[in-house]
Structure 1
Amino acid sequence: MSFFTDKQTLDDLNITGRYKNNSITFLFDQVITTGGIRLLEHMFRQPLTDPAEINKRSDIFKRFTAYPSALPFSAEEFVVLEDYLGARGSLNRAEVIKNAISKKALQVVAQDEAYSLFNSGIISTIKLLIRFRDFIDTLETDEGLLREQLIALKDIFRLQKLQKVLNVPAAKELPLFKMIKYDYLLRCVLKKEMEKIIESIFQFDVYTAVAAVARDHHFCYATALPKARNVLNIQGLYHPTVEKAVGNTITLNQENNVLFLTGANMAGKSTLMKSMGIAVYLAHMGFPVAAEAMEFSVRDGLYTSINMSDNIGLGYSHFYAEVLRVKKVATDVAADKDLVVIFDELFKGTNVKDAYDATLAITEAFSENRNCFFMISTHITEVGEILRERCNNFRFTYLPTIMQGLRPRYTYRLTEGITMDRHGMTIIRNEGILDLLQVEAAPRTPGN
C-alpha cells in the first residue's frame, strides 16, 4: 500500500510541479535524463509506507551524498545514446545488413546524411557506454544496498560480445562492415542488456541528483520506524526553500499526539506547519529532509488544510469548504487510518462564536485517535485553555512576538505554552491606515 494524500495537501505544501517556482519537485529536479525525470516524478507521486523500503532508498541516497558522484556525460550526449538504442531495429541479421547498405547507397548516390548520422550515433553510444562502465567501476560493490545492482551491471560489461564492441580503437567513422557488426550486437543480440543499462542510468541519475541537493542544502536523512512505534521526532526542522530559516524541534508520540500551536499573525505558524508537512512527505519518499535529524513511524497518509478557498463553481462558501475538508479527514480517521493531519486556523470562515465551538469540539474529538498525529493552529487561544483542562495528550506551543517599541519582532522559535499575543491593530496603526482615513477633508470653496 502506498502513502496517500490529495491535491489540497500537495497544493498547500507546494509539492508538485517541476516547472513551478519554489515547488519541492523543482528543488530536487537536478536530473539530466528523460527517464530520470519520469522516475523522480513517480517517486513524488507514490511515497512509501514500508519502513524497510524507505530506509533502503534513503541509504542509497545517503551513500551518494557522502561520496559525491556525477553521471559521466551531459543530457545532450545521453540523448544520442537513448535515440540510437531506442530506435526501431530488427532481430534479423540480414535486415540489419540491408538497412546499413541502403543508407550507404543513398549517401553515395544522393549525398543523404542518414548513413553518417547512424554511424556517428553508434560511435557516440560506444563512447558513452565506456564512460558509464568506468563510472560503475569506481563504485565499490561491497556497498550493501547497491551490491546486487552493481554486480549485475559489471557482469553485463564483462560479456564477451559487449567487450568486442567496447575494446575497439577510437575512430571518427566506422567501416561499413564494422558498423553492421556493432549495430547488430548492440541493438539486437544485446538488446535486453542495453535496456538494463539504460534503466540503471535513469536510477543513478536520480541517486546522484537527490544526493547533490541534500549535500548542497545540508539536509538530513530520516529514519523510518514501524508503524507500531508511533513516534515523530524532528530536530532542527525548517522550510527547505526559505533562506536562513530558523530550525525547530517537533516531538509527537502516543502520549502526546497533538501539537496545539498559537501565535500572532506573521509569527511563522503557517511556515512551520508547511515545513512539518513537507518533511513528513519527503521522509516517506526516502528523500532528504530540511532538518538536523528525524525519525518517524510510518503513517498511512497526510492531510493538510492551510490554504482553503471557496468554490464558486460548486456554490461553496469558505466555511462550507472547511467543513467538507474536516469531514474528509474525519472519514479517514474513523476508518482507523493512521494519519498526519495539519490544520491551520480551523473554521476561520465563520463568526468567532461558531469558530470557537467548532474548533474546540473537532480538535477534542480528533485527538482521541492516538495513532494519528495532529498539528492544529488557532488564534482562538481560549480554546487551548479549555483543552489543557480536558485533555492530557496535547503539547501546547506558540511562536512568540517581541515588541520593540511599537514594532513587532518575530523569533520563529517554538516555545512551550499558549500565547495571548495579538498585534494586528499595532501593525495597522504602524502602517498609518487609520490616519489616512481620519484626515479631515479640506474646506470646499465656491466653484469646487
Structure 2
Amino acid sequence: MIFSIDKQTLEELNLTGKFRTGSVYALFNKVKTNSGERLLDQMFRHPLIEASAINERSSIFQYFEKAGYAFPFDPQQLTQMREYVDAAGAGSAALVLAQTFMKKILSGLTRDERYRKSIQGLQATIGVLQRCHHFIDTIQPPFVYEAKVDQIRKILADKKIQRLREMDIYQSLPLKTLAYYEHLLKTELNAGMAAVLAFIDELDVYIAVSGVSKSKGFSYAQALASEKNMLQAENLRHPCIDKAIGNKLQMDRQSNVLFLTGANMAGKSTLMKSIGIGLYLAHMGFPVAADQMQFSVRQGLYSSINVSDNIGLGYSHFYAEVVRVKQAAEAAASGKRLLLMFDELFKGTNVKDAFDGTLAITRSFADYTDCLFIVSTHIIEVGEALKDKRNIRFAFMPTIMEGAIPRYTYRLKEGITEDRQGMMIIRNEGILEMMED
C-alpha cells in the first residue's frame, strides 16, 4: 500500500520540485551528491505508511542531528568511483589483463583516455573506501541503524577490500594490480561496492536533512497507530516562512473536523498548508516545523486550496470546485484514513449557494469519523448552523482593528469569528472615491 496524494495537493502545498520557488523539497535539498539528491527525491515521492518505519527513520535523523557530522566524502571521488564500478564487467581476469595492457599501449600512441580513467577510477575507489572505513570507526549508530552499519563494516573488513583501501593512491599503480582490481570490483566485489555507495547516499541525505532541522529549530513527530485518528502539534508553523507564527493543533476522533473561520488575509490558507506540509513530512520521517507533534498514520492527504477553472475541459471555477469536492467525497467513502482540507468551499458561486453547499458538505464529512477534515470559510453563519455536530471543533484566525487598519495575529483561537472588515478594507483602498471621480 502507498500513501495517496494527487498532483493538485502536491502543487498546492508546494512539496516537490527542485526548481520551484519556495518548495519544501528545495528547503531540504542540501545534499552534496547527485545520487543523494535522487534518494532525497525518492523519499519525497514515497512517504511511509507504517508507524514503526516512520519512527525508525526519524530516530536515525535525530541521531545524525545530535552527532552533527559533516559529510566526509569528496563528491568528485564518489562520481569517479560510481562510474568505475558501474561499468560493465569485461569477462575473465586474463581478458581484463589483456584489455588493460592494450589500453596502456593506446594511451601512449594516441589520445585514448581509457587507461588514465581506469587509474583515476581505482584511485577514487581507494579514497572513498578509506574515508568510509574511517567514518564507520567513529560512528555509534542508534539500534535501528546498527544492522546497516554492521553490513558496511563487514564489507570493508573483507581481506581483498582491506588490502585495496590500504594502498597508497599517490604511488604508481602497476598494470597487473590495476587489472586485478578492475576485474574484482566489477565482478566478485561489485555488490559490496554498490552497498557502500548506497550507504553513502543515505549518509548524504541524513546529514543534509538533519542539518536543516538543527538550523531551523525543527523537531521530529511521533507516529501512532492509524486507529487512534489523532493529530496533535505544538507551535506548528510553515517550514518555508522565516519567523512564521506557530499554532497549537488538536484533532482526534471526538473532534475530527476543524471548522475554521476568519477574514480574508487572516492566515487560514497558510495554516492549512502548514498542517498539510507538517503531516506529509511526518510521514516521511523528516523533521517538522513544530515544537512537538504526534499523529496517527494516514493513508493519504487531499487538499482543495487553490482550485481554478479548467478552460481545456470547459469547467467554470465553481464546477471545478464541485468536481474537486466529489473527488474528495469518493476518497473519504473509500474507507481510507485520510486528512482532507478545504479552503473556502464554493467561493465560485453566490453567497446563498455557498452557504448551503458548505453546510451540507461539512455535515456529510463529519460522519466519516475515521478521517480528519479541515474546512475553512469566511461565511461565518455556516458555523452557527453546525453547532449541533459534537465532533466539529470551531476555531478562527482573528483580525484586530487598530483604528481603520486591520492587523492579523495569525494565532488560532477557539470559536467562530465575528470579524466583518471587508467594506472597511475596500474603503481604506479608496476604491469608492476613485469611482466617484
> Aligning the two structures, in what range does the TM-score lie when normalised by the shorter sequence?
over 0.9
Alpha-carbon distance in 2 for matches of 1:110, 1:344: 68
**CA contact 1:401–1:411 (8 Å) conserved in 2:** yes
Alpha-carbon distance in 2 for matches of 1:91, 1:236: 60
Alpha-carbon distance in 2 for matches of 1:113, 1:36: 28
Secondary structure, counterpart of 1:149 in structure 2: helix
**CA contact 1:120–1:173 (8 Å) conserved in 2:** no
Q: How many residues align?
A: 437
**CA contact 2:80–2:120 (8 Å) conserved in 1:** no
**CA contact 2:261–2:417 (8 Å) conserved in 1:** yes
Alpha-carbon distance in 1 for matches of 2:9, 2:188: 48
**CA contact 1:223–1:296 (8 Å) conserved in 2:** yes
Name the structure 2 match of 1:413: 411
Q: Which runs of 5+ in 1 are unaligned?
A: 440-448
Counterpart amino acid of residue 319 in structure 1 = F
**CA contact 1:71–1:132 (8 Å) conserved in 2:** no
> Offset at 1:17?
0.7
CA distances 1:292-337 after superposition (whole Å, capped 9, x unpaired) = 1000111111110000001111111111111111111111212222
Moved more, 370-379 or 88-97: 88-97
Name the structure 2 match of 1:235: 234
Name the structure 2 match of 1:334: 333
Name the structure 2 match of 1:345: 344
Name the structure 2 match of 1:445: none
> Offset at 1:172?
4.5
Name the structure 2 match of 1:166: 165
Aligned counterpart in structure 1 of residue 391 of structure 2, from 393, 399, 420: 393
Name the structure 2 match of 1:11: 11
TM-score by length of 1: 0.95
Name the structure 2 match of 1:45: 45
**CA contact 1:238–1:248 (8 Å) conserved in 2:** yes
Moved more, 114-123 or 215-224: 114-123
Alpha-carbon distance in 2 for matches of 1:3, 1:110: 55
Moved more, 58-67 or 176-185: 176-185
Alpha-carbon distance in 2 for matches of 1:111, 1:438: 81
Cα distance change, pair 352–201 in 1 and its aligned pair in 2 (3 A): same
1:60 matches 2:60: yes
Alpha-carbon distance in 1 for matches of 2:391, 2:114: 72
Counterpart amino acid of residue 55 in structure 2 = N
Name the structure 1 match of 2:198: 199
Alpha-carbon distance in 2 for matches of 1:168, 1:81: 16
Cα distance change, pair 427–244 in 1 and its aligned pair in 2 (3 A): same
CA distances 1:217-243 after superposition (whole Å, capped 9, x unpaired) = 111100000011121101100000111
Secondary structure, counterpart of 1:251 in structure 2: strand
Counterpart amino acid of residue 43 in structure 2 = M
* Equivalences for residues 249-398 of structure 1 within 5 A: 249-388=248-387, 390-398=388-396
CA distances 1:56-96 after superposition (whole Å, capped 9, x unpaired) = 11111111111112321233332111111112232410121
Secondary structure, counterpart of 1:326 in structure 2: helix
> Offset at 1:102?
0.8
Moved more, 162-171 or 364-373: 162-171
Name the structure 1 match of 2:184: 185
Counterpart amino acid of residue 57 in structure 1 = R
**CA contact 2:397–2:411 (8 Å) conserved in 1:** yes
Counterpart amino acid of residue 28 in structure 2 = F
TM-score by length of 2: 0.97
**CA contact 2:55–2:223 (8 Å) conserved in 1:** yes
Q: Which runs of 5+ in 2 are unaligned?
A: none
* Equivalences for residues 68-107 of structure 1 within 5 A: 68-107=68-107
Counterpart amino acid of residue 69 in structure 1 = Y
**CA contact 2:259–2:374 (8 Å) conserved in 1:** yes
> Offset at 1:429?
1.9
> Offset at 1:184?
2.5
* Equivalences for residues 420-435 of structure 1 within 5 A: 420-435=418-433
Alpha-carbon distance in 1 for matches of 2:43, 2:75: 21
The higher radius of gyration belongs to 1
Alpha-carbon distance in 2 for matches of 1:278, 1:409: 26
Alpha-carbon distance in 2 for matches of 1:86, 1:71: 23
Alpha-carbon distance in 2 for matches of 1:70, 1:421: 50
**CA contact 2:126–2:167 (8 Å) conserved in 1:** no
Moved more, 28-37 or 350-359: 28-37
Alpha-carbon distance in 2 for matches of 1:170, 1:50: 45
Cα distance change, pair 424–75 in 1 and its aligned pair in 2 (3 A): farther
Name the structure 2 match of 1:147: 146
Secondary structure, counterpart of 1:380 in structure 2: coil
1:119 matches 2:119: yes
> Offset at 1:401?
0.8
Secondary structure, counterpart of 1:189 in structure 2: coil
Alpha-carbon distance in 1 for matches of 2:77, 2:332: 50
Alpha-carbon distance in 2 for matches of 1:268, 1:378: 12
Alpha-carbon distance in 1 for matches of 2:417, 2:43: 40
Aligned counterpart in structure 2 of residue 402 of structure 1, from 400, 403, 409: 400
Question: RMSD value over aligned CA atoms?
Answer: 1.3
Alpha-carbon distance in 2 for matches of 1:173, 1:20: 47
Name the structure 1 match of 2:435: 437
**CA contact 1:119–1:173 (8 Å) conserved in 2:** no
